[in-house]
Chains A and B, each alone.
Chain A
Amino acid sequence: MSTDSENFYAQIVNKLKNWARINSPWAIHFNSGSCNGCDIEILATLTPRYDVERLGIKLQGSPRHADVLIATGPVTLQALDRLIRVYEQMPDPKYVIAVGSCALSGGVFDGCYSVIGDLNKVIPVDVYVPGCPPRPEAIIFGVVQLLDSLKKGKKPTKIVVSNDVPELIIEEKSNGNN
C-alpha cells in the first residue's frame, strides 16, 4: 500500500475516533483531597434529575478506559502521587476538567501545609469549573464546553457566563509609614 492511502485510512480512523469520543466521553472522577461537596455534585449528575448518561457521558471506574479526568480538591501531598499515576494511566488523547474552587486555586485551603492548591501545577488542565461546589448544571456545562472545543479541534477558551459580575472590593492596605 502506498503512504498516501495509509494516511487516508489513518485520517478516517482518527475522524471516527474523534466522533465516537465526542458523542460518548467516558469520564473518571478523582478526589485529590476535596471535602466531598464537589464529588457529591458529580455523583448527582448521574442521578435522575440531571442524568448525564442520556447524553452518552459515563462515569468510569478505571483510568484505563477513560477519556476525561474530572478532578476535585486542592491536591493533598498524600493524593499527589496517585493523581499523577491515574493521569498517566489514561490513554491518549486525554482531557482534564478541574471541578471546584479548590482545584482552581486551593480555595479555602490555600496556605495549608499539606496542599499544593492548584491542579494545573501537577497536570495540564483543559477546563475549569468554578464554584464551591459548582452546581451539577455547571459541571455538565463544563463537559459540554470541552466537547464543543473538541469538535472544532481547538483548546477551550475562556467564556463569559454572566456580564453583571460585581466588582471586587480590595481592602486598602495601610503603609508601614502611616
Chain B
Amino acid sequence: MTEAKKEKFIVPIGPQHPALKEPGNFEFTVDGEIVTDAAVRLGFVHRGIEKACENRNYTQDLYLLERVCGICSHVHATAFVLGVEKLAGVQAPPRAEAIRVLAAELERIHSHLLWFGVAAHEAGFDTLFMYTWRDREVVMDILETLSGSRVHYSVNILGGVKIDVDQKLSDLIKKDMDFLEERTEYYMKVVTTDDTFLGRTRGIGTLSKDRAKLLGAVGPTARASGVKRDIRVNAPYSGYKEFPVKMVIDQTGDLEARFVVRLKELYESYRLIREILEKIQPGEITTRIKRKIPEGEVISRVEAPRGELFYYIKSNGTEMPDRVKVRTPSLCNWGTITDVAVGHKLADMPMLLAGIDPCFSCNDRMVEIRSDSQPSQMMNWDGLRKYGIEYYR
C-alpha cells in the first residue's frame, strides 16, 4: 500500500496565468498518467471591486463593474443596470432593451469564437485558432462601429443605452452575420467530422446530467449535459421577452457536446440579431432616472456567454449602493472540473479546462513535483499543452 502511494504525485497548475479572467491554482494528484484527485484555489486577481462599489455612485459603479471581465463586460453592466432600474422603479424604453440584447448577442458571438479558438489551440489545432480569431475580428469591427470601443463597449447607462443603430449599420451587421454563419458551418463540420479533433473531444470529460445539477454547473457546460438552464429562456429579462431565444441542449455531456452546444448557440445569436434588426421599433433610448436610488434590495440574473451571472444590489437610499455582490458563471463551473478530471489522463487536462470556458490560456506555469527520490520538474502551461499534443500524436 505504501509502495503504491509513493507512485502518486501532485501536479500544481497555476496560478500565474495571465490570459483570462479567473486565474486559479489547480492541484492534480496523479497516479502514473491518471488523475486521481483535483483541487482548485482562486483569488489571484482579487481587486476588491465589490468593496470599491460602495465608495462610488451608481454611474461610476457601472464603469467599474464593466471591468470585472474584459470578455463579457456588457452582461455585467446589464445585470447591474437591470437591478438598479428595478430598485428605482424605472423601465428602459423598448428600443433600449432591444439594443441591449443586440449588444449582448454580439458579445456572445465574440466570446464563443474567442473560446473556440483558445480551445482549438489547446488541442494543438493552431490553424483553427487563427481562423476563428480572424473571423472574430469581424464581430469586433461591428462592436467598434456600434460603440466606439473594441472591448469595454459601455452600451448601458442607467435608464437606457447610449448608442443607437441606424439603417446603414444594420445593413452592415446583416451582411457580416451572413459571412459568420457560413464560417460557423465550416467550424461545425470540423468539430463533428475531423478525426484528430474527435479523438481529443469525443467521450472525454463526460459530465452526467445528475452530476451537473448537483455541482451547480451553469451555461453551455450545463446545457451540454442536458440541464435546461438558460436565464434567457427560464426567466426572460430585458429585450428577451420580446425577442425569445431557443435553448440549445445536448445530452451526451462530453467535450464534443460542449463544442457543439456553443456553435449551435452562435446560429441562434445570428438569427436573433437579424430578427432584432428587422423588428426594432423607432423611439426613445433613454429615460430619466434619479441619482438617489430608493432603499431596498434586488437580485438580478442575466445569461452571460459562460452561464448565469448573478447580481445582488442593496441600496440605502443614497447615491451609493450599500452592497453589491457579484457571482460569475466561471466560478460555478470550476466545481465540475474537480469532478470530471478524476479518472482522466494528465494529457486531457488542457482540453478539459478549456472545455468549461474558464478563460484559461497561454502561459500558466506549472510545477510537477515527483515523489521523494525524484527531483522536482518545472513545467509551464505551454509545456502541459505540448505534453497533451505529443501524447495524442
The segment from A18-26, A38-46, A143-151, A159-167 found at the interface with B is A38-46
Closest approach, in angstroms, between the C-beta of B143 and any C-beta of chain A? Answer: 12
Binary CB contact string for chain A from 52 to 85 against chain B (1 if under 8 A, 0 otherwise): 0000000111100000000011101011001000
Q: Is there an interface contact between B47 and A114, defined as CB atoms closer than 8 Å?
A: yes
- Docked CA distance A76–B49 (Å): 12
Q: What residues of B have a CB within 8 angstroms of the CB of A82 in the complex?
A: 15-16
Q: What residues of B have a CB within 8 angstroms of the CB of A128 in the complex?
A: none
- Docked CA distance A29–B380 (Å): 13
Q: Is there an interface contact between B48 and A31, defined as CB atoms closer than 8 Å?
A: no
Q: Which of B114, B129, B137, B151 has the most CB of A within 10 A?
A: B151
| Given contact pairs A61-B382, A109-B49, A132 touches B152 in the complex (Cβ within 8 A) | yes
Q: Is there an interface contact between A37 and B363, defined as CB atoms closer than 8 Å?
A: no
- Docked CA distance A5–B380 (Å): 42
Tell me if B's interface is mostly helix, strand, loop or mixed: loop
| Given contact pairs A31-B23, A62-B363, A114-B48, A37 touches B151 in the complex (Cβ within 8 A) | yes
Query: Which A-chain residue is minimally distant from B121 (CB atoms)?
Result: A43
Closest approach, in angstroms, between the C-beta of B118 and any C-beta of chain A? Answer: 9
Taking CB atoms and an 8 Å cut-off, the chain A residues in 2-50 that contact chain B are 28-31, 33-41, 43-44, 47-49
| Given contact pairs A28-B363, A40-B70, A61-B382, A48 touches B48 in the complex (Cβ within 8 A) | no
Q: Is there an interface contact between A49 and B70, defined as CB atoms closer than 8 Å?
A: no
Q: Is there an interface contact between B55 and A38, defined as CB atoms closer than 8 Å?
A: no
Q: What residues of A have a CB within 8 angstroms of the CB of B23 in the complex?
A: 31
- Docked CA distance A79–B363 (Å): 14
Binary CB contact string for chain A from 90 to 114 against chain B (1 if under 8 A, 0 otherwise): 0000000000000000011101111
Closest approach, in angstroms, between the C-beta of B15 and any C-beta of chain A? Answer: 7
- Docked CA distance A133–B151 (Å): 7
Interface size on B, residues (CB 8 A): 46
Q: Is there an interface contact between A39 and B18, defined as CB atoms closer than 8 Å?
A: yes
Q: Is there an interface contact between B20 and A39, defined as CB atoms closer than 8 Å?
A: yes
B280 interface residue, CB < 8 Å from A? no
| Given contact pairs A35-B69, A113-B48, A114-B46, A49 touches B362 in the complex (Cβ within 8 A) | no
Closest approach, in angstroms, between the C-beta of A106 and any C-beta of chain B? Answer: 10
The segment from B60-68, B255-263, B314-322, B348-356 found at the interface with A is B60-68
Q: Interface size class for chain A?
A: 35 or more
Q: What residues of B have a CB within 8 angstroms of the CB of A133 in the complex?
A: 70, 150-152
Q: Is there an interface contact between B18 and A30, defined as CB atoms closer than 8 Å?
A: yes
B45 interface residue, CB < 8 Å from A? yes
B133 interface residue, CB < 8 Å from A? yes
Q: What residues of B have a CB within 8 angstroms of the CB of A113 in the complex?
A: 48, 51-52
A115 interface residue, CB < 8 Å from B? yes
Q: Is there an interface contact between A62 and B380, defined as CB atoms closer than 8 Å?
A: yes
- Return the contact of A47 from the options B49, B51, B133, B362 (Cβ within 8 A): B133
Closest approach, in angstroms, between the C-beta of A108 and any C-beta of chain B? Answer: 5
Query: Which A-chain residue is minimally distant from B61 (CB atoms)?
Result: A108
A140 interface residue, CB < 8 Å from B? no
- Return the contact of B45 from the options A60, A78, A132 (Cβ within 8 A): A78
Q: What residues of B have a CB within 8 angstroms of the CB of A72 in the complex?
A: 18
- Docked CA distance A60–B382 (Å): 9
- Return the contact of A36 from the options B47, B71, B136 (Cβ within 8 A): B71
Closest approach, in angstroms, between the C-beta of B82 and any C-beta of chain A? Answer: 21
Binary CB contact string for chain A from 112 to 139 against chain B (1 if under 8 A, 0 otherwise): 1111000000000000000011010000
| Given contact pairs A78-B44, A115-B47, A48 touches B130 in the complex (Cβ within 8 A) | yes
Q: Is there an interface contact between A40 and B114, defined as CB atoms closer than 8 Å?
A: yes
Q: What residues of B have a CB within 8 angstroms of the CB of A38 in the complex?
A: 70
Taking CB atoms and an 8 Å cut-off, the chain B residues in 1-50 that contact chain A are 15-21, 23, 43-49
Nearest 10 Cβ contacts at the A-B interface:
A37-B70, A31-B18, A36-B70, A47-B133, A61-B382, A61-B363, A112-B48, A37-B151, A48-B134, A33-B45
Given contacts A35-B21, A115-B48, 6 further A-B contacts (CB under 8 A): A33-B44, A34-B70, A43-B133, A76-B45, A109-B64, A111-B52
